């Protein structure tokens, strides 16, 4: 009975998936690992912060890609010794990592505090404004970037092998997934979920609602910053267009494709997005029906539309529904047994 | 309180997985895995596996046919290939061979004017499709990113498409990255000399788009105009995409305070900015205005014929009215290769291929294709040693329809630049007419730009007098014929 419980099964499935992902570089082509999977994991990591804020805090943020970019810009400014743009501080790469994460977290704290009293559509609008301002800050202030961005960014020696970036992204993704899920069961996470459902009641119970929201946004910013570091190591450069409106919306689209209330959906959505953008045009005869690489955004748009209509909970929602269906009891249950089952079900939902 | 052992068991499983993960990622030294073989390029082997970096989205998305078409025409003219489709270049070519070595087109990348996207596209071409030679990209920031990528993959050979940033060669200096055309600053070479020494401008105000190409284009003009003794009184940089230029025009000195204005504002901004000037400062007079390649006769439709007289900077090709036998032959060969091409100049409507071929985007990619073929001929088609091919390309002087091109020590083209002027035609309409060819222009502008100087920006270069190598060397063009 116990070994068949959803929590155990979920843990076993995750462990199995992690083992498969660890073994993956030995069996598949380098391009799939270094391009498709590394990109999937780092975009998933950033999208997971959207899920975290939306799922626990009811805050749909469009500023996560900005924070993803801030970490990259700050790393580039700190780590480069010479170059035609940026501060060229020439610090040790790991000092640059610490600096990048510190600045990103501080920026997230400030932006989160400013937005902490808004909800719903206004939160979305405000974080969109952050994304737009962020783009112009880096495009206009030539001391830290300028329109052409920071180029020739090298990754730390430790991560010199291409596959090490994949493992780094995988490790960070696993940690973020487990961490976010665990956080949901802590006092902080439960309070946050209470504020999502009824902020007025939580405030009257003595909880500091804006502070909780600010701290959640700060944590989301920190994790997005980790993804941003992997991105800048992977790409070797970052420029304002990297954090423009296009990529910002793509991250939200990734979260929506995967399912904005499922953490695993973030990575699932990222995989679908990256795989589509990489392989769609290679499908035989696909260009005969007018789907060339230039039509990629149309295809992604159609997929998002389809998912919104068929399953507002995204691909992870579909998977979840399929998974739950066979476990539904078919026998007519007696009163007391039914109540017990309902109680267990509620407990499981909190666990998940 | 509830089943405390369940999460613990799940945690134990995950801890085991995490430990395995830690074991694998330890030290970053994971040799032996296929994914560690880096690019996985099919370097060596029998032939050239060519990838073209085009531009199918973004502000230059209309020039995808032009970009691919340039390279295809080079293969048709010099490697015995045939265009795969009579009405589109993006289908590529078949049967190309240079010095006995087959050239196979493995893929066409799709850029969108961002460095991130072009990096993904070049990785796809090289790491997935196994390209060992890349032709492209098209735009400035893309060029810097691809040059950096080339530097990290020394066995790859990259010939830039028509990317106009200085840094991709001047500062990145990848030994396997070649550019057989000029940069955005070089395309304005000769303007400062003519305006100061011939037209008598001593002071000028500069208005340029506030992004890398605007900065670079303005930098070329400023370096030369100041180099020959002129003075820049104002530099104004409106953001790209501005629609109302009035606040920026208000910052400019009046027509009686400076001798002239230099405009490097592109897209729809060219006309909007000039209209704002007319509203704020009075009528345009052609003898007081000059522009980079974005100035064109169409401006007269909205602004009137008073703009006649304005000087216009060059681009990769010479102005349309310059005719030589080589140019005629080149344009005719384009018309023979396809029935029609939906290029960017014709608004992506089918048009005679020579319309596209006469424009710089097509021609840059054509130059790269011809250079590749000439390089292969030097090494007798042997691509097993990429460094030999790189050496051969570095030493090439390629005879091209719009003038021969050699490379400087950073493997960037030393080229002829054509200047033109907007003039009143016989029918009273404004037309563009070539006035001079500036021979052998290079990236340095007599030392204004070098590997250690900053990138062109709002402040750089400063206004300093220096020797400009081509001062006074302009070859006049009379009735479309350079008087060499």
For chain B, the residue count is 484
Structural domain contains residue B394:
yes
Asked if A351 reaches chain B (Cβ–Cβ under 8 Å), the answer is yes
Q: Are residues B90 and B117 in the same domain?
A: yes
Residue of A nearest to B106 (CA): A282
Q: Are residues B211 and B348 in the same domain?
A: no
Helix, strand, coil tally for chain A in percent (to 5) = 75, 0, 25
A229-269 pLDDT, tens digit each? 999 999 999 999 999 999 999 999 999 999 999 999 999 99
Residue of A nearest to B57 (CA): A294
Spell out the per-residue pLDDT of chain B, length 484, in tens.
344 444 455 444 444 444 444 444 433 334 445 455 444 444 445 799 999 999 998 888 899 999 999 999 999 999 999 999 999 999 999 999 999 999 999 999 999 989 999 999 999 999 999 999 999 999 988 999 999 999 999 999 999 999 999 999 999 999 999 999 999 999 999 999 999 999 999 999 999 998 889 999 999 999 999 999 999 999 999 988 889 999 999 999 999 999 999 999 988 899 999 999 999 998 888 999 999 999 989 898 888 899 999 999 999 999 888 989 999 999 999 999 999 999 999 999 999 999 999 999 999 999 999 999 999 999 999 999 999 999 999 999 999 999 999 999 999 999 999 999 999 988 999 999 999 999 999 999 999 999 989 889 899 999 999 999 999 999 999 988 888 7
CA distance A335 to chain B (A): 22
Distance between CA atoms of A239 and A232, rounded to whole angstroms? 10
ipTM of the complex: 0.87
Residue of A nearest to B38 (CA): A162
Last residue of a domain, one of B411, B444, B463: B411
Q: Are residues B362 and B434 in the same domain?
A: no
Distance between CA atoms of B393 and A135, rounded to whole angstroms? 39
Distance between CA atoms of B147 and B470, rounded to whole angstroms? 28
Q: Do B56 and A294 touch (CB under 8 A)?
A: yes
Q: Are residues B377 and B450 in the same domain?
A: no
Q: Which of A68, A148, A276 to mutate to test the interface with B (most CBs of B within 10 A)?
A: A148
Structural domain contains residue B23:
no
Tell me what pLDDT residue B320 has: 86
Token pair 């900015």 is at which residue? Answer: B273
Torsion angles phi and psi, residue A44, rounded to 5: -60, -40
Token pair 């009163």 is at which residue? Answer: A335
Torsion angles phi and psi, residue B439, rounded to 5: -80, 150
Rg of chain B, C-alpha, whole Å: 25
Q: How many domains does chain B have?
A: 2
Tell me what pLDDT residue B262 has: 97
Asked if A58 reaches chain B (Cβ–Cβ under 8 Å), the answer is no
Strand partners, B437: B418, B475
Contact (CB, 8 A) for B96 and B79 = yes
Structural domain contains residue B133:
yes
Q: Are residues B442 and B297 in the same domain?
A: yes
Residue of A nearest to B10 (CA): A11
Q: Do B212 and A235 touch (CB under 8 A)?
A: no
Q: Peptide bond before B116: cis, by omega within 30 degrees of 0?
A: no
Of B18, B27, B457, the CB nearest to A174: B18
In order of A163, B122, B167, B267, the CA distances from A35 in angstroms are 10, 11, 26, 35
Which residues are within 8 A (CB) of A221 and not within 5 positions of it... i.e. 6 or more apart?
Answer: A49, A64, A67, A104, A105, A107, A108, A109, A111, A112
Asked if A84 reaches chain B (Cβ–Cβ under 8 Å), the answer is yes
Q: Are residues B117 and B170 in the same domain?
A: yes
Q: Are residues B404 and B424 in the same domain?
A: no
Structural domain contains residue B34:
no
Structural domain contains residue B442:
yes
Structural domain contains residue B33:
no
Tell me what pLDDT residue A341 has: 57
We report the CATH number of the domain holding residue B130 as: 3.40.50.2300
Distance between CA atoms of B290 and B309, rounded to whole angstroms? 9
Angle at B368 between CA B365 and CA B372, to 5 degrees: 140
Distance between CA atoms of B345 and B55, rounded to whole angstroms? 14
- Count other Cβ atoms within 10 Å, centred on residue A279: 14
For chain B, first and last CA: distance in Å? 94
Structural domain contains residue B42:
no
Q: Do A242 and B116 touch (CB under 8 A)?
A: yes
Asked if A20 reaches chain B (Cβ–Cβ under 8 Å), the answer is no
Last residue of a domain, one of B411, B432, B450: B411
Structural domain contains residue B138:
yes
Q: Are residues B433 and B382 in the same domain?
A: no
Q: Tell me, what DSSP letter sits at residue A36?
A: I
The two structure tokens encoding residue A206: 């003595």
A184-215 pLDDT, tens digit each? 999 999 999 999 999 999 999 999 999 999 99
Strand partners, B98: B101
Contacts of B241 in chain A (CB under 8 A): none
Q: Are residues B273 and B420 in the same domain?
A: yes
Q: Are residues B205 and B304 in the same domain?
A: yes
Q: Are residues B191 and B289 in the same domain?
A: yes
Of B20, B28, B455, the CB nearest to A164: B28
Which residues 318-347 on chain A approach chain B with CB closer than 8 angstroms? 347
Q: Do B24 and A167 touch (CB under 8 A)?
A: yes
Tell me what pLDDT residue A303 has: 87
Q: Do A22 and B28 touch (CB under 8 A)?
A: no
Q: Which of B12, B116, B177 to mutate to test the interface with A (most CBs of A within 10 A)?
A: B116
The two structure tokens encoding residue A141: 């202030």
Contact (CB, 8 A) for A329 and A345 = no
For B208-257, give the DSSP string: E-SSHHHHHHHHHHHHHHHHTT-EEEEEE-PPTT-S--HHHHHTSPPTTT
Tell me what pLDDT residue A291 has: 73
Angle at A336 between CA A334 and CA A337, to 5 degrees: 65
Contact (CB, 8 A) for B181 and B415 = yes
The residue range of the domain holding B209 is: 186-315+416-482
Tell me what pLDDT residue B33 has: 53
Which residues are within 8 A (CB) of B332 and not within 5 positions of it... i.e. 6 or more apart?
Answer: B354
A51-79 pLDDT, tens digit each? 999 999 999 999 999 999 999 999 999 99
| CB neighbour burial string for B310-336, b if at least 16 within 10 angstroms, e if fewer | bbbbbbbbbbbebeeeebeebbebbee
Task: Mark the ranges of chain A whose per-residue pLDDT is less than 70.
Answer: 1-4, 326-352
Torsion angles phi and psi, residue B163, rounded to 5: -75, 125
Of B17, B123, B211, the CB nearest to A19: B17
Which residues are within 8 A (CB) of B9 and not within 5 positions of it... i.e. 6 or more apart?
Answer: A8, A11
Last residue of a domain, one of B411, B443, B469: B411
CA distance B445 to chain A (A): 18
CA A213 to chain centre: 18
Q: Are residues B225 and B262 in the same domain?
A: yes
């Amino acid at each position: 009975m116990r070994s068949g419980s959803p929590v155990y099964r979920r843990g076993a499935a995750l462990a199995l998936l992690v083992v498969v992902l660890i073994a993956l570089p030995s069996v598949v082509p380098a391009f799939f690992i270094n391009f498709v999977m590394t990109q999937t994991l780092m975009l998933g990591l950033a999208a997971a912060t959207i899920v975290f804020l939306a799922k626990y805090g009811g805050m749909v943020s469009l500023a996560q890609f900005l924070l993803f970019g801030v970490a990259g810009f700050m790393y580039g400014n700190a780590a480069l010794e010479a170059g035609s743009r940026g501060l060229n501080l020439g610090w040790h790469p790991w000092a640059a990592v610490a600096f990048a994460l510190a600045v990103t977290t501080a920026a997230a704290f400030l932006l989160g505090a400013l937005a902490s009293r808004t909800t719903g559509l206004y939160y979305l609008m405000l974080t969109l404004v952050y994304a737009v301002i962020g783009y112009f800050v880096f495009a206009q202030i030539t001391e830290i970037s300028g329109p052409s961005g920071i180029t020739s960014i090298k990754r730390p020696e430790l991560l010199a092998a291409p596959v090490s970036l994949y493992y780094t992204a995988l490790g960070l993704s696993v940690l973020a997934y487990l961490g976010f899920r665990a956080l949901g069961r802590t006092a902080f996470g439960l309070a946050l979920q209470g504020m999502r459902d009824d902020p007025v009641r939580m405030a009257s119970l003595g909880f500091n609602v804006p502070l909780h929201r600010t701290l959640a946004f700060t944590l989301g910013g920190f994790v997005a910053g980790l993804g941003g570091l992997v991105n800048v190591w992977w790409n070797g450069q970052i420029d304002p267009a990297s954090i423009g409106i296009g990529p910002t919306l793509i991250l939200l689209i990734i979260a929506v494709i995967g399912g904005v209330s499922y953490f695993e959906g973030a990575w699932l959505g990222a995989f679908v997005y990256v795989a589509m953008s990489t392989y769609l045009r290679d499908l035989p005869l696909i260009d005969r029906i007018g789907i060339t690489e230039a039509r990629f955004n149309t295809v992604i748009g159609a997929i998002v539309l389809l998912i919104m209509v068929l399953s507002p909970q995204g691909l992870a929602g579909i998977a979840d529904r399929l998974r739950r269906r066979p476990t539904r009891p078919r026998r007519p249950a007696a009163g007391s047994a039914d109540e017990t089952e309902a109680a267990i079900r509620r407990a499981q939902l909190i666990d998940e | 309180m509830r089943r405390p052992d369940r999460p613990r068991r799940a945690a134990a499983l995950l801890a085991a997985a995490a430990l395995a993960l830690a074991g694998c990622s330890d030290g970053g030294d994971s040799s032996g895995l296929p994914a560690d073989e880096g690019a996985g390029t099919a370097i060596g082997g029998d032939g050239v596996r060519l990838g073209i970096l085009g531009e199918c989205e973004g502000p230059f998305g209309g020039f995808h046919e032009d970009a691919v078409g340039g390279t295809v025409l080079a293969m048709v003219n010099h490697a015995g290939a045939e265009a795969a489709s009579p009405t589109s270049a993006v289908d590529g070519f078949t049967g190309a061979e240079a010095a006995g070595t087959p050239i196979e087109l493995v893929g066409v990348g799709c850029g969108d004017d961002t460095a991130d996207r072009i990096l993904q596209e070049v990785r796809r071409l090289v790491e997935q499709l196994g390209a060992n030679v890349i032709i492209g990209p098209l735009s400035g920031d893309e060029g810097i990113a691809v040059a950096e990528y080339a530097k990290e993959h020394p066995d790859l050979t990259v010939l830039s498409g028509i990317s106009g940033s200085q840094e991709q060669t001047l500062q990145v200096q990848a030994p396997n990255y070649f550019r057989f055309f000029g940069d955005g600053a070089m395309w304005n070479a000769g303007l400062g000399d003519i305006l100061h020494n011939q037209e008598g401008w001593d002071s000028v105000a500069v208005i340029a788009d506030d992004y890398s190409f605007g900065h670079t284009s303005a930098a070329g003009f400023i370096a030369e105009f100041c180099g020959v003794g002129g003075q820049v009184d104002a530099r104004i940089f409106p953001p790209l995409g501005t629609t109302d230029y009035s606040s920026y025009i208000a910052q400019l000195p009046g027509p009686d305070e400076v001798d002239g204005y230099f405009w490097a504002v592109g897209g729809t901004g060219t006309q909007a900015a000039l209209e704002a000037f007319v509203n704020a400062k009075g009528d345009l007079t052609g003898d007081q205005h000059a522009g980079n390649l974005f100035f064109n006769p169409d401006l007269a439709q909205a602004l009137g014929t008073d703009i006649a007289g304005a000087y216009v900077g060059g681009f990769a090709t010479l102005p349309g009215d310059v005719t030589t036998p080589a140019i005629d032959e080149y344009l005719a060969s384009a018309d023979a290769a396809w029935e029609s091409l939906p290029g960017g100049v014709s608004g992506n409507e089918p048009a005679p291929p020579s319309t596209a071929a006469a424009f710089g985007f097509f021609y840059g990619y054509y130059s790269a294709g011809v250079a590749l073929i000439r390089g292969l001929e030097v090494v007798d088609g042997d691509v097993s040693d990429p460094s030999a091919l790189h050496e051969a390309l570095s030493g090439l002087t390629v005879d091209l329809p719009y003038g021969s091109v050699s490379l400087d020590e950073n493997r960037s083209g030393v080229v002829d630049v054509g200047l033109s002027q907007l003039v009143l035609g016989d029918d009273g309409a404004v037309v563009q007419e070539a006035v001079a060819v500036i021979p052998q222009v290079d990236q340095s502008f007599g030392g204004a730009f070098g590997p250690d100087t900053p990138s062109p920006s709002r402040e750089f270069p400063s206004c300093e007098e220096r020797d400009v190598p081509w001062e006074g060397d302009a070859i006049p063009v009379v009735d479309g014929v350079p008087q060499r």
